[in-house]
Structure 1
Amino acid sequence: MTRHETQPFDGQKPGTSGLRKKTRVFMQPNFLENFVQATFDAVGGVQGKTLVLGGDGRFFGREAALTILKMAAANGAARMIVGQGAWLSTPAASNLIRQRGADGGIILSASHNPGGPDEDFGVKYNMSNGGPAPESVTSAIHQRTQEITEYRKLDAPDPDLDSLGETGLGEMTVEVVDPVAAYADLMETLFDFKALRDLFDSGFRMRMDSMCAITGPYAVEIFENRLGAPTGTVTHATPLPDFGGMHPDPNPTWAHELMDEMMGDAAPDFGAASDGDGDRNMILGAGTYVSPSDSLAVLAANAHLVPGYAGGLKGIARSMPTSAAVDRVAEALGLDCYETPTGWKFFGNLMDAGRVSLCGEESFGTGSDHVREKDGLWAVLMWLNILAARKMSVAEIMADHWARFGRNYYSRHDYEALPIEQAETMLGDLRARLGDLVGSEVEGLSVASADEFAYTDPVDGSISRGQGFRILFEGGSRVVLRLSGTGTEGATLRVYLERYAPEPDGLDHDPQEALAPMIAATETLVGIRERTGRAGPDVIT
Structure 2
Amino acid sequence: EDGGFKYNMINGGPAESEVTAWIEARANELLEDGLRAVKRMPLARALKAPTTHRYDYLGAYVRGLGQVIDMEAIRSAGVGMGVDPLGGAGVHYWGRIAEDYRLHLTVVDEEVDPTFRFMSLDWDGKIRMDPSSPYAMQRLLQLKDRFPVAFACDTDHDRHGIVTRSAGLMPPNHYLAVAIDYLFRHRPNWKPGTGIGKTLVSSQMIDRVAARLGRPLVEVPVG
Correspondent of 2:60 among 182, 189, 192: 182
Q: Which residue number in structure 1 is paired with residue 48 of structure 2?
A: 167
Gaps of 5+ in 1: 1-20, 23-119, 345-541
- In the TM superposition, what are the counterparts of 1:219-234 in structure 2 within 5 Å? 219-222=94-97, 224-230=98-104, 233-234=106-107
Q: Which residue number in structure 2 is paired with residue 283 of structure 1?
A: 162
How many angstroms apart in 2 are the aligned matches of 1:227 and 1:305?
25
- In the TM superposition, what are the counterparts of 1:287-436 in structure 2 within 5 Å? 287-288=166-167, 289-304=169-184, 309-312=187-190, 314-341=194-221, 343-344=222-223
Contact map agreement 2:147 2:165 (CA 8 A) in 1: yes
Q: Which residue number in structure 2 is paired with residue 218 of structure 1?
A: 93
Q: For residues 235 and 297 of structure 1, do their structure 2 counterparts lie closer, same or farther at Cα, with a shift above 3 Å needed?
A: same
Is 1:239 equivalent to 2:112 in the alignment? Answer: yes
Q: For residues 279 and 312 of structure 1, do their structure 2 counterparts lie closer, same or farther at Cα, with a shift above 3 Å needed?
A: same
Q: Secondary structure at the match of 2:142?
A: helix
Is 1:153 equivalent to 2:43 in the alignment? Answer: no
Q: Secondary structure at the match of 1:124?
A: coil
Contact map agreement 1:304 1:311 (CA 8 A) in 2: no
Contact map agreement 1:206 1:271 (CA 8 A) in 2: yes
Q: For residues 244 and 311 of structure 1, do their structure 2 counterparts lie closer, same or farther at Cα, with a shift above 3 Å needed?
A: farther
Q: Secondary structure at the match of 2:198?
A: strand
Q: Secondary structure at the match of 1:180?
A: helix
Q: Which residue number in structure 2 is paired with residue 143 of structure 1?
A: 22
Is 1:194 equivalent to 2:72 in the alignment? Answer: yes
How many angstroms apart in 1 are the aligned matches of 2:41 and 2:200?
48
How many angstroms apart in 1 are the aligned matches of 2:67 and 2:45?
32
Q: For residues 331 and 133 of structure 1, do their structure 2 counterparts lie closer, same or farther at Cα, with a shift above 3 Å needed?
A: same
Q: Which residue number in structure 2 is paired with residue 124 of structure 1?
A: 7
TM-score normalised over the length of structure 1: 0.34
Give the drift of 1:155: 4.2
How many angstroms apart in 2 are the aligned matches of 1:310 and 1:244?
46
- In the TM superposition, what are the counterparts of 1:88-127 in structure 2 within 5 Å? 120-125=3-8, 127=10
Contact map agreement 2:7 2:15 (CA 8 A) in 1: no
Q: Which residue number in structure 2 is paired with residue 249 of structure 1?
A: 130
How many angstroms apart in 2 are the aligned matches of 1:221 and 1:259?
24
Contact map agreement 2:200 2:219 (CA 8 A) in 1: yes
The structure carrying a bigger strand percent of its residues is 1
Instruction: Write the letter of the residue equivalent to 2:138.
Output: H
Q: Secondary structure at the match of 1:215?
A: coil
Q: Cα deviations across residues 304-344 of structure 1 (Å, max 9, x unaligned)? A: 466xx443471123233322111111111001223433x22
Give the drift of 1:230: 4.1
Contact map agreement 1:213 1:243 (CA 8 A) in 2: no
Give the drift of 1:259: 1.1
Q: For residues 146 and 226 of structure 1, do their structure 2 counterparts lie closer, same or farther at Cα, with a shift above 3 Å needed?
A: same
Q: Once the two structures are aligned, what percentage of the paired residues are identical?
A: 22
Contact map agreement 1:167 1:175 (CA 8 A) in 2: no
Correspondent of 1:260 among 142, 153, 163: 142
Larger radius of gyration between Structure 1 and Structure 2: 1
Correspondent of 2:153 among 255, 274, 281: 274
Contact map agreement 2:90 2:156 (CA 8 A) in 1: yes
Contact map agreement 2:85 2:109 (CA 8 A) in 1: yes
TM-score normalised over the length of structure 2: 0.76
Q: Secondary structure at the match of 1:216?
A: coil
Give the drift of 1:273: 1.0
Q: Cα deviations across residues 352-384 of structure 1 (Å, max 9, x unaligned)? A: xxxxxxxxxxxxxxxxxxxxxxxxxxxxxxxxx
Q: For residues 286 and 335 of structure 1, do their structure 2 counterparts lie closer, same or farther at Cα, with a shift above 3 Å needed?
A: same
